Amino acid sequence: MRSSSSPVCVAVAIAAAFCLCVAPSGAQTRPKIPIVPADPRQQRPTKLASDPGEFAWQMFYLLNWPDVPNKRGVPNAFRSIGQHGATVWESFKNISEIYLDHGRRPPAWEVVAELPPASLTRPHPTPKQLAALGPVDSTWIHYLTEPVMIDGQSICDEQTTPLHYEVRGNHAYFNYVVNNPAGHELYNIEGQLAARTDPNFVFDFPLPTLEVKASWRILEPGVDTSRFWTAYGVYQDSFGKLQSARIGLTGLHITSKILSNWVWMTFEQVDNPTTTFKYLFGQKGAALGPNPNYNTAITPINQKWQAQLQATKWQYYALMNVQTDFVNASGQPTLLSNTQMETYFQPDSSCISCHQLASIGTVKNPRLQLFYPLNPYAGNVDFQAVANQQFPGQPFKSMDFAWSLRNAQYRNPPPAAGK
């Protein structure tokens, strides 16, 4: 949802998978001629194989380019990165708009409806109420759907306020889930169960598919916002009441389907090591410190792009690493983590291995477990071996690394056990 000084606008959109582009120049002034940053996926696999760090930064640059108002996910050729307004990825579909209550079919791509339904006891914030929170960089109003990380734990800021999260998919993702060519309604559990039992169906997202996961901190009054990309966020508190706040971006996972095992890229705000903290039993713990899986070989690439973005807030973000395979040339597991999203299991964190277990099983046990018994999987994961280990004799089907599909709900929930 977009915000403005006038009543909140409803965005209408169609997404472009790829566009004719020129390489980013680094100039931050308004271009005199239409310029859209290069999409590195057009150069696959050459760019990715030869320089994965450069590939990741070009993706970051493209996705943080301003979007076209009323066209979701489309870069605006008449604007420049860092200018006020929503970015390309911010206008992707929130999972709250795709996986609806009772497994209902989502509205069309161009419809913006990411906030939960308003009511007398849970009203939406008004433009005036949002403006009173203070100025922000983005015009998009984010619904932060996830109050905890994948392992159910939390981290917090200096004020002991927990961070919140969201997941978004581009048009290719949305269209595959909602208008799947095989006719399966992948936006509800019944549709996914039908896909599992279809012997001719394989979960296989199209090449242009992108998913992003973002971590945001609540920006309390008085907090320096000069080094964060900021927006307005709406989230549910522990009582189910909607709260509104200014929010600052602390982490961004980007995943692309241009390889069969996808490509996994993660960025962090550079101050995270000293400004975010462990959060246990309502108490602030130790500062998170640096990312243990940071690839120091990409430091020159980070420095180059940060200098190129010096006139924008995006200079305060850094690539941690890129993951394209389960193991390295020596056969050792590759690791990738974001301190804001995998805080407590970073020594074993492998995005590609975790997402390999994205699955649909039976009504009784619809998903494989990520933590079994306690630690996440890393390295080359044999999907069927893991399924047989966790649920012997029960059929599971891989869902093409897309854990976000687990947000689907039943159209008609099965009876509870014993009823």
**pLDDT tens series, the chain, 419 aa:** 777 543 333 333 323 333 323 334 344 555 457 788 999 999 867 778 889 999 999 999 999 999 999 999 999 999 999 999 999 999 999 999 999 999 999 999 999 999 998 888 889 999 999 999 999 999 999 999 999 999 999 999 999 999 999 999 999 999 999 999 999 999 999 999 999 999 999 999 999 999 999 999 999 999 999 999 999 999 999 888 999 999 999 999 999 999 999 999 999 999 999 999 999 999 999 999 999 999 999 999 999 999 999 999 999 999 999 999 999 999 999 999 999 999 999 999 999 999 999 999 999 889 999 888 767 889 998 999 999 999 999 999 999 999 999 999 999 998 875 55
Residue 401 belongs to a domain = no
By CB neighbour count within 10 A (0-12 exposed, 13-18 middle, 19+ buried), where does 31 fall? middle
| Cross-strand bridge partners of residue 214 | 166, 252
Residues 371 and 2: their CA atoms lie apart, in Å, by 37
Residues 230 and 235: their CA atoms lie apart, in Å, by 15
Number of structural domains found in the chain: 1
- Residue 319 CA: distances (Å) to CA of 54, 291, 306, 355: 10, 11, 10, 20
Residue 35 belongs to a domain = no
Which of 42, 174, 30 is CA-nearest to residue 95?
Answer: 174
- Residue 377 CA: distances (Å) to CA of 122, 133, 257, 387: 40, 42, 21, 13
**The two three-digit tokens of residue 394, written as one number:** 């029960």
Number of continuous H segments (helices) and E segments (strands) in the chain: 9, 15
**Do 378 and 415 meet the contact criterion of CB atoms below 8 Å apart?**
no
| Whole-structure pTM value | 0.91
Backbone angles phi, psi at 260, to 5 degrees: -60, -30
**The two three-digit tokens of residue 384, written as one number:** 């069927």
Which amino acid is it at 87?
Answer: T
| The dihedral sign for the CA sequence 305, 169, 52, 20 | negative
**383 torsion bin: left (phi>0), alpha (psi -120 to 50), beta (else):** alpha
Which amino acid is it at 189?
Answer: I
Residues 45 and 48: their CA atoms lie apart, in Å, by 5
Residue 305 belongs to a domain = yes
Residue 13 belongs to a domain = no
Residue 235 belongs to a domain = yes
How many Å separate Cα 209 from the centre of its chain? 12
The residue to which tokens 């009054």 are assigned: 221
Q: Which residues contact 344 (CB under 8 A, 6 or more apart)?
A: 149, 151, 153, 278
| Cross-strand bridge partners of residue 284 | 279
**The two three-digit tokens of residue 240, written as one number:** 């189910």
Owning domain of residue 210 = 40-344
94: number of Cβ within 10 Å: 23
Residue 319 belongs to a domain = yes
Secondary structure of residue 221 in the 3-state scheme: coil
Secondary structure of residue 111 in the 3-state scheme: coil
